[in-house]
Amino acid sequence: MSHSISRRTLLRGAGCALAVPFLESMMPRAYSALQASAAAPARRTVFVFFPNGVNRGQWFPKEPGPLSALPPSLAPLEPYRARLSLIGGLAHANAEAQGDGPGDHARSAACFLTGAHPRKTAGADINAGVSIDQVIAERISGRTKFDSLELGLEPGMTAGNCDSGYSCAYSANISWKSPRTPMTKEHDPRILFERMFSVGPEGESEKARAARLAARRSILDGVRDEASRLRGTLGGRDRQKLDEYLDGVRSAERRIEMAEASATDTGADALPPRPAGVPNDWPSHAKLMNDLLVLSLRLDLTRVATFMLGNEGSNRPYPSIDVREGHHDISHHDRDERKLEKFAAINRHHAEQFADLLAKLDAAKDQDGVSLLDSTLLVYGGAIGDGNAHDHRNLPVILAGGTRDDRLTGGHGEYRRFDRERPMCDLYLSLAQRMGVTLDRFGDSTAPL
């Protein structure tokens, strides 16, 4: 027989604490099963950012209309062609210089989700704007363990001069809680995992944490008795959800342990050493973070997330696809055909990781049995168009996911291009409405798309 339990329930034991997913047993007793079944399915929004612009000739179709095939740089997304829309003609005017001189990379990342023109400073007086993910997160606050999650594949920074007098806070963050407070992202899978599942006792010291991680003991070993005791008090649906949750926790642990075991230098072409838990090669790192992002959505730990595939201006090489020059250097191609091809290869490599995320969302089901891809709208793009020109017009933007009855996604499977330039923030107004958040304006918006 099930009984009501607290939403703050933790599984504790052997120096560990593990959060419990939201269960029907956590609902007030007056909340009937009929009401639960009639409740609207959860809706989720994810923003995936890539730096340095694109090779437009291989990223955009030649003409707007139905997509019979995707352009070369987006070929990895072909299995999901009917589940996405390419959108042309969107712009971020506030990423332009506006008299501030160089610094387009910093401005583009700071403006991407805020629509704001950042103050040019490398000091503590940073000022951008509140990002759309945080506006949505604040309005739906309290429905999940985390109002939002911020992920990345390169470290977050909040200080230093990274771009012509602009603070590194601008280049390394796209999510902003307030104009002066970026939401620093997490790039280490181990730390993200521990944050997601409240691993470790409260106030655990760094020394104790290191000893626990070195022991490689599953956190499930420490809470097994407590989990078994809780399971015996739950109804059938809650037991199934708890079992799926614990299976997901252990699966993520194994992936992280494998990554830690392989995170060693492999020769002259290896990337610089990474913190423990971060795979040594970029594709494996991206896929592991995709796993954790999908797990956080499937277990309803959050409904709003951002994911930076790289910091803006990143000069990372990609030896796994035989691009050994830095990404930023390649993006300044000056119409050199060799560089253009390598630039397109990087764009395609990024699209492969986005395709991996879509595949994992499509395969996962939420607690209502709905595919996560159906319940999630994703924006994939950046705030630089042509990396060589550093422009912020006709931005590379893809809208993916959602169901066919979503008004915003009714044209999926098409390349839609606005003849009259539209602010990127118009798209964000529409996304906010889809999440149940009504805004009159956001950034430099004019009207919802």
pLDDT in tens, 233-279: 888 878 887 887 788 777 777 777 766 665 544 333 333 333 356 88
Q: What is the pLDDT of residue 25?
A: 74
How is residue 114 written in tokens? 């805020």
Q: Across the chain, what does the average pLDDT equal?
A: 86
Question: Which amino acid would we find at residue 221?
Answer: D
Does any domain span residue 375?
yes
CATH of the domain at 170: 3.40.720
Closest residue by Cα to residue 63 from 412, 414, 410: 414
**109 neighbors 172 (Cβ within 8 angstroms):** yes
CA distances from 330 to 59, 283, 337, 353 (A): 16, 19, 11, 20
Residue 23 lies in a domain: no
Domain contains 11? no
In a domain, 330, yes or no: yes
Calculated CA dihedral for residues 83, 75, 173, 150, nearest 10 degrees: 50
Q: What is the pLDDT of residues 69-127, one digit of tens each?
A: 999 999 999 999 999 999 999 999 999 999 999 999 999 999 999 999 999 999 999 99
Residue 181 lies in a domain: yes
Residue with the bigger pLDDT between 217 and 322: it is: 322
**Does residue 94 belong to any structural domain of this protein?**
yes
- Is the pLDDT confidence value at 413 over 70? yes
Q: What pLDDT shows up at residue 270?
A: 35
Between strands 304-308 and 181-182, the pairing is: unpaired
User: What average pLDDT score do residues 396-403 get?
Assistant: 94
| 318 pLDDT above the threshold of 90 | yes
Question: Token pair for residue 74?
Answer: 């987006």
Number of domains into which the chain is organized:
1
- Contact criterion met (CB below 8 Å) for 95 and 107: yes
Q: pLDDT confidence of 302, banded at 50, 70, 90?
A: very high
Has residue 6 been placed in a domain? no
d(CA 88, CA 393): 9
What span, in angstroms and rounded, lies between the C-alpha atoms of 274 and 119? 32
User: What is the band of 130 on the pLDDT scale with cuts at 50, 70, 90?
Assistant: very high
Express each pLDDT in 334-369 by its tens digit. Answer: 999 999 999 999 999 999 999 999 999 999 987 677
Q: Which domain holds residue 377?
A: 45-204+279-434
| pLDDT tens digits for range 204-229 | 666 766 666 566 567 777 777 888 88
Q: In this structure, is residue 219 part of a structural domain?
A: no
